[in-house]
Amino acid sequence: MDSLEGLFSVRGHRALVTGASSGLGVDCAHALALAGADVALVARREDRVKTLADELTRKYRVRAVGVGADVSRESDIERAFADCVGALGGEIDILVNNAGVSPTGRAENFKRELWENAVAVNLTAPMLLSQRVARALIAANKPGRIINMASIYAAVASSVYRLSAYAATKAGLANLTRQLAVEWAPHGILVNAIAPGWIPTEATEGGIAKPGNKERMQQFTPLGRLGRPEEIRGAVVFLASPASSYITGAILAVDGGYTSW
Ligand SMILES: NC(=O)c1ccc[n+]([C@@H]2O[C@H](COP(=O)([O-])OP(=O)(O)OC[C@H]3O[C@@H](n4cnc5c(N)ncnc54)[C@H](OP(=O)(O)O)[C@@H]3O)[C@@H](O)[C@H]2O)c1
């Protein structure tokens, strides 16, 4: 590894990114394609992931495919995973479990449907996809990377929002990351998480726009500002590339220092 390319390249690898129809997932997809990976993009808004796949192919000259799927349904996961493997021509060896939902509501009245959907999307889908990726890699005796999109609210509670389902599922995802890292280390499958702070996306822009919220979030952030979606790119490439070959079970904060004080 005596070149920058050698440290950070993922050329020759096949990545699957969930939730690549908007927000951070789009930046994860750009980052991995820029670093040379072929990419499969999954979300319910099929038109968006197909359009992004075309853009990535043109821009970075990688193979890219967009597949429509609702990851809260195991049958969709099964079909989408098979389609991604088929389109990219072999085992997925980089998985980014990024799709997520963040329903809000007072804990004492929190709607069960919202709770169950958050568990399905934020926690069960990452497990089901990780299992599929790991089974194929273990059978082929190949190494791989799994990157889970956690949150600052995996570690701390929110004083701005009522986020019981989100906080619980992201904390679950963070410790699932550690458990899978331990179980799959002997197979060379490294499992890590990214824990972003406040970054404007479709999921967060409504909340950020409410009077006083942006100022409050900035005040809680040592760097004094919200993140930008593209600031997730470096962390994704790092955790997917040879640069992080001795890192597994880690939760990498990309939060402007939010969880440091
Ligand atoms: N932005 C932040 O401040 C922040 C902070 C910490 C963590 N995060 C995490 O980052 C991840 C991305 O969030 P974002 O901020 O980029 O929000 P976003 O723009 O709303 O993106 C969420 C993505 O998840 C997908 N998704 C949701 N439900 C799905 C389902 N049932 N099946 C398939 N895909 C589904 C959406 O695609 P479709 O609607 O097309 O299905 C979309 O692509 C989430 O896990 C979130 O918790 C974000």
DSSP string, 211-258: TTHHHHHHHTSTTSS---GGGGHHHHHHHHSGGGTT--S-EEEESTTG
Q: Please count the residues of the chain.
A: 261
CATH, domain 4-252, list 3.40.50.720, 3.90.1570.10, 3.30.70.270, 1.20.140.10: 3.40.50.720
Q: Which protein residue's CA is at the shortest distance from atom 41 of ligand 1?
A: 44
pLDDT surpasses 90 at 1: no
d(CA 48, CA 42): 10
Tell me which of 77, 83, 96, 101 to substitute to probe ligand 1's pocket, judged by most ligand atoms within 8 Å of the beta carbon.
Answer: 101
Strands 189-196 and 94-97 come out as unpaired
Bridge partners (DSSP) of residue 14 are 38
User: Which has the closest alpha carbon to 17: 4, 2, 3, 34?
Assistant: 34
Provide the Cα torsion 9, 241, 124, 133; round to 10°.
70
Six token digits for residue 234: 């470096």
pTM of the model: 0.98
| Mean pLDDT of the chain, nearest integer | 97
Bridge partners (DSSP) of residue 253 are 195
**6 alpha carbon to ligand 1 midpoint, in Å?**
31
Condensed to tens digits (0 to 9), the pLDDT of residues 181-223 reads 999 999 999 999 999 999 999 999 999 999 999 999 999 999 9
Q: What residues does each domain of the chain span?
A: 4-252
**109 alpha carbon to ligand 1 midpoint, in Å?**
24
Condensed to tens digits (0 to 9), the pLDDT of residues 118-158 reads 999 999 999 999 999 999 999 999 999 999 999 999 999 99
Could you confirm whether 60 is annotated as catalytic? no
pLDDT surpasses 90 at 160: no
Question: Strand, coil or helix: what is 36?
Answer: coil
Q: Phi and psi for 64 in degrees, rounded to 5?
A: -145, 145
Condensed to tens digits (0 to 9), the pLDDT of residues 102-122 reads 999 999 999 999 999 999 999
